[in-house]
Structure 1
Amino acid sequence: MSDGQATPATEVERYEPLAFEPALAARWHDERTYSLPLEANADADGFYALTMFPYPSGDLHMGHAEIFSIHDTLVRHLRMQGRNVLNPIGWDAFGLPAENAARNRGADPAKWTYDNIAEQRATIARLGYSFDWDRVLHTCDPEYYRWTQWLFLQLFDAGLAHRRAAAVNWCEGCQTVLANEQVVDGACERCGTVVVRKPLTQWFFRITDYADELLDALPSLDWPERVKTLQRNWIGRSEGAEVTFRTAEPDADGHEADADERVVVYTTRPDTLYGATYFVFAPEHPLVEARMGDDADYRAFMDEVSRKSEIERQAGFEATASEKGAGRAKRGLRLNFDMRNPATGEAIPAYAADYVLMDYGTGAIMAVPAHDQRDFDFARQEGLEVRVVVAPDDGTALDGATMTGAYAGDGHTVNSADYDGLDWRETKRRITADLEQRGIAKATVNYRLRDWLISRQRSWGAPIPILHCPSCGEVAVPEDQLPVRLPDDLDFSVAGSPLAMHPTWKHEVACPQCGSDDAVRDTDTMDTFVDSSWYFLRYLDPRSDTQAWPVDAAGRWLPADQYTGGVEHAVLHLLYARFVVKAMRDRGLVAADEPFQALLSQGQVILGGAAMSKSKGNLVVPGEVYETYGADVLRGTMLFASPPEDDIDWADVSPGGMHKWLSRVWRLSLEQIAREEAGLGEPGESDAVAALRKATAEAIVGASEDYTARKYNTVIAKLMTLTNAVLDATRKEAHGPAVRDALETLLTLLAPICPFITEELWRRFGHSDSVHEQRWPQADTSLLVEDEVTIVVQVNGKLRARVRVAADADRETTEAAARAAVADQVTDEPRKVVVVPGRLVNLVV
């Protein structure tokens, strides 16, 4: 090697990440490098960074790798900015998959769960994610679910937990309630038994008490707008009226008699009452049950409806080809009575239809087919009248007989007696007031949101801490008797809930109020959403055996500054966590109004346009990447593929390309180290050195802005540009301090994304401390001041030339330079000259 020459690539060590990554990962994990002591709970400037914790159903998948890579980059960057970051990790460890493993494979659900946690933990550590390994929790630990039960008792004491009958999806084969998503084509996804709807006594949390607050607080949150829209739609606040309809029955002489059956419906559009041409009940409605009795058609219809989940019932209900020729579509049944329209006095036909649910509203609706698409489709299916009562203001004529779809736009009222000609909003106000005077309506605010059903007839979950005493009723388990532990000898071969079938567990208790030995434990367990509704509070002191969370620390850390997780949890998990925080605030146990101030929802990792799955044979797992290319390549590939919010199609990304770039960073660094060891100097402040110093400053400014904006893909692009600038400089004989400064800056800026290679090269540059302990670099902005700028020269608005002028050139100088540049194209004096200093000159001729 001679003076002024770069070290040939063949003379430096190859980039072999598997040679150093595992040892670094083990050290960070075992030495608890990124743990934050409990004393830091008093840090007023701390940053609480949360990622949605995983479910341990196997090793990490690519979705986990994406979310953790995004999150860890954020966290490492914040630490290098001097922030104390609370970054805990845990596992959402109760749930049906473990119970399924116990039933199907004879596995112990606890062992199955903890084995999977160990596998995931090892992978998380291997990939260098800088979690606080001193603040780990598992929701299936008795030390955790003791406090989940305590939380239940807090809500019970506040009147926010109650028990009542509700219709549920019931699998006779498994003897358990199923969530809607566990019903596939009307059958249990686990055993294939036809699922039925049946009433069952269940526990609920009164989340509806907080409906308005949950809705009104959304604008204050730094969440993606699509997530806030999902929350708004789920809460579903609407303003309308409750209107009373009556049954219409002829007496023995054929005259309609007064009926004592009254049915209240809620409608957001009372202005369309004159267009209500039929009435629809939920099949389970008590009035329908009473009127239809043992009618064979009704019983058959009920049998069919009972096999459908709520999701299936609310989906599109067009008749199938076979149903269209069957004389009457199976999704609707004409009842043997009519209802009286309170606005028109007409008797309108009554139906039962599966798209009306007993648990929503009052279990009955007035149907206005001209102005509601669902009602329109049903009316066309049943041959019912479509009556227009809202006409577009543009004069478009609507004919109910020929309309091909409902009209749901604005307009004025028609075919509605004294209300004709009014704007529909005015009609809504007036008709509500008029019916209120008659005592058959009242203005009402309604919500789609329903109370949170938390009961599960399963056994791998937190037992509900309630005793049922024949004398005292529902009695809370005293706090000093928590946790109510799951027995170790559950038999998962039994049909139904092993907890309910256990021979002794529910009986080995006495009523704490009256001492009766006849009391029994509640054998339901809590929905796993309860476990995940408060875990961020437990992280504040996960080992405490005296409190669920430290109230003073919660006052400092909440709301969490950043929450990262998939949009699939955007509705229920977030809604339930928000409810719990508000309820605990009202108990004086939390100061914050919200759990998460900022939310980042990453996209999916797909392959060839399709979601990855074993059944499709298109599954890529993280191990296939990091065992070949290393963890940094996996992390970098994830972040370079797209902005965090967008989907990543693994078919379009290139781990090999990322490996190639990191190999170049590796080679350039080792070549510089070799030059320094050889005592090679730098030949003065050459143009190449000046260009490299400027490129370094530009990289600091650009990367810093993109880190703050969470644009990690463009961070990497800017660092690739800096890498090329280093390569170009070394080819032009720059070998000294400017190159070292550029490379060390590159390593510092790259450290949050690729922690292993940067740590290893930082050490090789001779540093004894960690690259991750460095403060974020600051740019020498004087290097970015331009001496000259490029001016665009236009003639009549079209680009004709570009010219360089001094950055501080005045208007006259700029105009003169522009005229000279197009002198051969502009021979006459321009009519007008437009000068935008520092940007352009337009000559109008």
Structure 2
Amino acid sequence: MEYNPKAIEPKWQKYWDEHETFKTDVWDFSKPKYYVLDMFPYPSGVGLHAGHPEGYTATDIVSRMKRMQGYNVLHPMGYDSFGLPAEQYAVSTGNHPNGFTEKNIETFTGQLKELGFDYDWSKMVKTSDPSFYHWTQWIFKQLYLDGYAKYVDMPVNWCEELGTVLSNDEVIDGKSERGGYPVVRKNMKQWVIDQQAFAEELLSGLDEIDWPQSTKEIQKNWIGRSEGVEVDFKIVGGGDFSIYTTCIETIYGITFMVLAPDGQTVQELMPRIENKEEVEAYIAETLKKTEMDRTELNKTKSGCELKGIHAINPVNGKEVPVFIGDFVLGGYGTGAVMAVPSHDQRDFEYSEVHNIPRIQVIDGGDVSEHAFEKGDYLGKGCKLMNSEEFNGLTVEEAKEAITDKLVKMGVARRTVNYRFREWIFARQRYWGEPMPIVYLEDGSIHVLDDDELPLELPVLEDYKGKNGKAPLDNATDWKNYDHNGVKGTRETSTMPGSAGSSWYYFRYIDPDNKEEFANQELLKHWLPVDLYVGGPEHAVGHLMYSRIWNKYLYKKGLSPVSEPFKKLVHQGMILGSNGIKMGKRFPEFVVNPSDIVDKYGADTLRLYEMFMGALEASKPWSDQGVEGARRFVNKVWNYFSNPDNISENDADRLTRLYHQSVRKITHDFETLGFNTAIAQMMIFMNEATKGTCPKAYAEGFVKMFSCVCPHAGEELWSLLGHNETIAYEAWPTYEEALCKEDVIEIGVQVNGKVRGVVGLTDDDTQESALEKAKAIDSVNKFIEGKNVVKVIYVKGKILNIVVK
């Protein structure tokens, strides 16, 4: 009798819903807590794809095991439901994005339920729900009052097609991540959050958490901490600017300076620039480029000399020409760099294009003579030359000596710099959290009172911004603010999609609280998240932003932990059967999980995705693999659903294997090695089906199996004579002594001749086998005093010791 998913799976899904089987009493502090979390999805119109169930099944298995182990498990699910796709859909179809989003959430929820996940749906959150974004607005308000949220004029990434500003991580190769539209740079008044204020805490916090090392490195590089010197340069005829460098020892090698075309200094110098038209044309061309075009993708080393403008090197008083170059960014650092073409690859290439001379100041470190990696202009121990009183000093010695000189002159400061900049926190679009900000008639900023929150989105007919203005500019009545005698105009930009996802893990713990974003006693008990699973593409977006918000709330005493996610795991990508990412390019290779559930059942899909390979690895889809998973589900079902296969007495033939299986499967579930855990289940089933299985072993196996295949597991549990759900049954245990293999006696050879017999188990290694053999007198007398040059050990078959 084959397993019938269409009859059994809806039955148990209905049971779990009606009995609220997985509802967590967050106030039950009598048990140890376990908070397991998935990165919540954006509810797109296409529904789940084959990659979603992979990470979700992994957390489901762990949460089910932890519940059986006696933990109070919190495993919630919600939706990152604000965002650009819903707005684009509204613009193109005339549908309200809220209705579209709610319909998608309904579809997603149905798909998640049909996969049998043990989510506590009473804790569901939606970032577009006013009861949720009430507190997103409240946290933003606190950030503003404490000086971390600021309103500044700055260059931004502008996408005309989308009608909004985009953050750096939303721009790929000069185009918007969503839609692939052109992105340009332009200056705008903009709301930002000061990320750099949290830089040191973000860096030190990486040592506290169990995250993939690659993700930690990505965050470290994104933050880009460096120690260096900020130096002031005067401009001949008046004016000055500053540069930041980590290579102050090369300051005598400066032959030109480069300013950002979009920086303030160039604008101030414009009346004195002799080739003004050329410079203005270059600036206009630069503003059409994205940061990516100007930095990582910069190949041409384009630039333009500011004729008539010279800077003075403070260390020796020499005048050097000043250029502008698009690789220098007005919104980053000081917006100016010193150029030392003999000892920096980029500066060398720029000097070649613009015919600028070089001065070598590091002996053996001239980039024109060596194929140096970018920034690696010298070797250790190299000494200075052409550097006045510092000649002969090593690079390390010169760093300190030259810095000391400049600091004493009052023109330099030791400083720490960071690569990452402000988090742009406003979008000129409709479907996002309104900002609780009002601009008063006198130009000052007013923040809404707590009792005015949530500030809800008005319903609009036109969701498309015009002439660079946000869609909310069309909501005339809503935009005009008049409250308690205070009059002004509301901010019409909305928050980015990353706002709600930066703190949602707090709200799951206490989603219905109307007095605060979450009860502090509950937060102290449940945080941090014990296991967080999601894609690596969020390393410098969501994962960084959520750490920043948590760091801020921790400083405020509103988060009990300094890091929100204790352990992070990235699931690998499930590829099409052609080995390429599923998508529009190869629609015939896209797998809809609902189709698999309809044909094979949810348990088969769950087991297949967990058996494909290591969780973190990318794996190609295989229809044959799905068929194999179905056969194994049927094998387990057919065997344990037949009462003739269940015995009341112990069966010695399964004792060792059962205890070994419990040990391995428990360990593999704990370490997220689901493919090897399932392999062990298969080993057990191959042996079990050779005869009968004791009921105790059957029950233990079904408990473990139910974590992967919960519908079949629940049904088998009931067939084994139980009336209650398997979800809260005690996790099976094992005895270490019963895991050991029987002793097998094998002959011990010395130089090919049998000299004795030794008893070994499967646990014995070559080293332990040799030690046991040496303890046998008849063997040891042929070994003692000689050198063992080789040992040949094949478990259960041979032990040959070669001596000289």
1:400 and 1:529, CA in 2 relative to 1: closer, same or farther beyond 3 A? Answer: closer
The answer to whether structure 1 residue 146 and structure 2 residue 140 are counterparts is: no
The residue type equivalent to 1:756 in the other structure is H
Q: Tell me, in whole angstroms, the C-alpha distance in 2 between the residues paired with 1:199 and 1:405.
A: 37
For 1:314, the equivalent position in structure 2 comes to 295
2:581 matched to which residue of 1? 611
8 Å contact 1:34–1:132 — kept in the other structure? yes
The CA deviation at 1:526 is 1.0
**Contact 2:348–2:367, Cα closer than 8 Å, also in 1:** no
TM-score for the superposition, normalised by structure 1:
0.86
| Paired position in structure 1 for 2:350 | 378
The question of whether the paired residues in 2 share the 8 Å contact of 1:788 and 1:804 is answered with no
Q: Which position in structure 1 is the counterpart of 2:655? A: 693
Cα distance in 2 between the residues matched to 1:146 and 1:651: 45
Give 3-state SS (helix, strand or coil) of 1:339's partner: strand
Q: In the TM superposition, what are the counterparts of 1:163-202 in structure 2 within 5 Å?
A: 163-172=151-160, 175-180=163-168, 186=174, 195-202=183-190
**Could you say if the C-alpha distance between residues 48 and 585 of structure 1 is closer, same or farther in structure 2, counting changes exceeding 3 Å?**
same
Give, in angstroms, the shift of residue 177 of structure 1: 2.1
> Hey, what does 1:523 align to over in structure 2?
492
Does the aligned pair in 2 maintain the 1:811–1:837 contact within 8 Å?
no
Relative distance call for 1:303 and 1:706 in structure 2 (3 A) is: same
Q: SS at the partner of 2:78?
A: strand
The aligned counterpart of 1:764 is 719
Structure 2: tracts of 5 or more residues without a match? none
> How far off is 1:190 after superposition?
7.6
**Deviations, residues 577-596 of structure 1 (Å, cap 9, x unaligned):** 22222222332322222211
Aligned counterpart, 1:279: 257
Q: Distance in 2 between matches of 1:338 and 1:265?
A: 15
Secondary structure (helix, strand or coil) at the match of 1:78 reads helix
Asked whether the 8 Å contact 1:726–1:742 carries over to 2, the reply is no
The 1:488/1:436 distance shift into structure 2, 3 A limit, reads: same
Looking at structure 2, the residues matched to 772 and 356 of structure 1 have their Cα atoms a distance apart, in angstroms, of: 59
Q: Percent identity?
A: 35
Q: Is the 8 A contact 1:208 1:449 kept in 2?
A: yes
Contact 1:475 1:511 in 2 (8 A): no
Preserved CA contact (<8 Å) 2:50 2:593: yes
Match of 1:119 among 91, 100, 107: 107
Shift of the alpha carbon at 1:841? 6.7
Q: Equivalents in 2 of 1:811, 1:403: separation in Å?
A: 55
**Pairwise mapping of residues 148-163 of structure 1 onto structure 2 (< 5 A)?**
148-163=136-151
Tell me which amino acid in the other structure corresponds to 1:15: Y
1:571 aligns with 2:577: no
How many correspondences in the alignment?
Answer: 782
1:156–1:184: structure 2 CA closer, same or farther, 3 Å change rule? Answer: closer
- Aligned residue in 1 for 2:743: 788
Alignment correspondent of 2:674: 712
Q: Label 1:799 to 1:818 Cα distance change in 2 as closer, same or farther (>3 A).
A: farther
- Structure 2: distance between partners of 1:777 and 1:500: 62
Deviation at 1:635, TM superposition (A): 1.3
Change (3 A) 1:681 1:263: closer
Which range moved further: 232-241 or 572-581?
572-581
CA contact (8 A) 2:748 2:779 kept: no
Say whether the 8 Å CA contact 2:22–2:118 is kept in structure 1.
Answer: yes
Report how far residue 810 of structure 1 moved: 11
CA RMSD of aligned residues (A): 3.2
How much does 1:612 deviate? 1.5
Q: Give the aligned residue type for 2:526.
A: W
Shift of 1:799: 13
Contact 2:755 2:779 in 1 (8 A): no
Following superposition, the deviation at residue 16 of structure 1 comes to: 2.7
- The match for 2:370 among 403, 407, 410 is 403
What letter corresponds to residue 482 of structure 2 in structure 1?
Answer: A
**Helix, strand or coil: the match of 1:365?**
strand
Greater CA deviation, 197-206 or 110-119? 197-206
Structure 1 Cα separation of the partners of residues 179 and 727 of structure 2: 51
Deviates more, 1:115-124 or 1:468-477: 468-477
Tell me the distance in 2 between the aligned counterparts of 1:803 and 1:428. 70
1:362 aligns with 2:334: yes
Instruction: Identify the residue that residue 472 of structure 2 maps to in structure 1.
Output: 499
Task: Tell me, yes or no, if the aligned pair for 2:32 and 2:70 is still in contact at 8 Å.
Answer: no
User: Residue 160 and residue 180 in structure 1: after superposition, are their counterparts in 2 closer, same or farther (change >3 A)?
Assistant: closer
| Aligned twin of 1:34 | 22
Deviations 1:548-578 (A, max 9, x none): 1111111111122121111111223222222
CA contact (8 A) 2:471 2:492 kept: no
Higher mean C-alpha deviation, range 125-134 or range 401-410: 401-410
Alignment of 1:269 onto 2:247: yes
Partner Cα distance (2:11, 2:457) in 1: 39
Sort the Cα spacing of 1:552 and 1:799 in 2 relative to 1 into closer, same or farther, 3 A: farther
The offset of 1:302, in angstroms, is 2.1
Asked whether 1:752 is paired with 2:725, we answer no
Q: CA deviation at 1:775?
A: 1.1
Q: Is the 8 A contact 1:171 1:177 kept in 2?
A: yes
CA distance in 2, matches of 1:272, 1:790: 73
2:517 corresponds to 1:539: no
Query: For 2:31 and 2:189, how far apart are their aligned partners in 1?
Result: 46
The aligned residue for residue 19 of structure 1 is 7
Amino acid at match of 2:660: E
- Counterpart of 2:35 in structure 1: which amino acid? Y
Deviation at 1:334, TM superposition (A): 2.7
Q: 1:810 to 1:665 in 2, by over 3 A?
A: closer
- From 117, 120, 123, the counterpart of 1:129: 117
- Candidates 742, 762, 773, aligned match of 1:814: 773
Residue 504 of structure 1 aligns with an amino acid whose one-letter code is: D
Does the C-alpha gap of structure 1 residues 101 and 414 become closer, same or farther in structure 2, counting only changes over 3 Å?
same
- In the aligned structure 1, how far is the partner of 2:666 from the partner of 2:348? 56
Q: Would the aligned equivalents of 1:751 and 1:759 in 2 still touch at CA under 8 Å?
A: yes
AA partner of residue 299 (structure 2)? E
Unaligned stretches of 5+ residues in structure 1:
1-12, 248-257, 320-328, 392-396
Q: Per-residue CA shift, 1:8-48, capped at 9, x if unaligned? A: xxxxx1123233112222332343210112433x4562111
CA contact (8 A) 2:384 2:398 kept: no
In structure 1, distance between residues paired with 2:208 and 2:526 = 18
Q: CA deviation at 1:362?
A: 0.4
**What's the counterpart of residue 844 of structure 1?**
803
User: Which among 45, 65, 75 is matched to residue 63 of structure 2?
Assistant: 75
Q: 1:99-144 CA distances to partner (integer Å, 9 max, x unpaired)?
A: 1001112121001111111111101111011111110111111111
Q: Aligned equivalents of 1:403 and 1:698: distance in 2?
A: 60
Would the aligned equivalents of 1:467 and 1:520 in 2 still touch at CA under 8 Å?
A: yes
Q: Answer yes or no: is the 8 Å Cα contact 1:566–1:602 preserved in 2.
A: yes
How far does residue 670 in structure 1 lie from its aligned partner after superposition? Answer: 3.0
Q: Is the 8 A contact 2:33 2:526 kept in 1?
A: yes
Tell me which residue corresponds to 1:45. 32
CA distance, structure 2, for counterparts of residue 792 and residue 204 of structure 1? 76
Instruction: Give a deviation string over 1:344-388, Cα, whole Å, max 9, x none.
Output: 544333222222111111011112344433334433443444554
Shift of 1:207: 2.8
Give the structure 2 partner of residue 300 of structure 1.
Answer: 281
Counterpart amino acid of residue 211 in structure 1: A
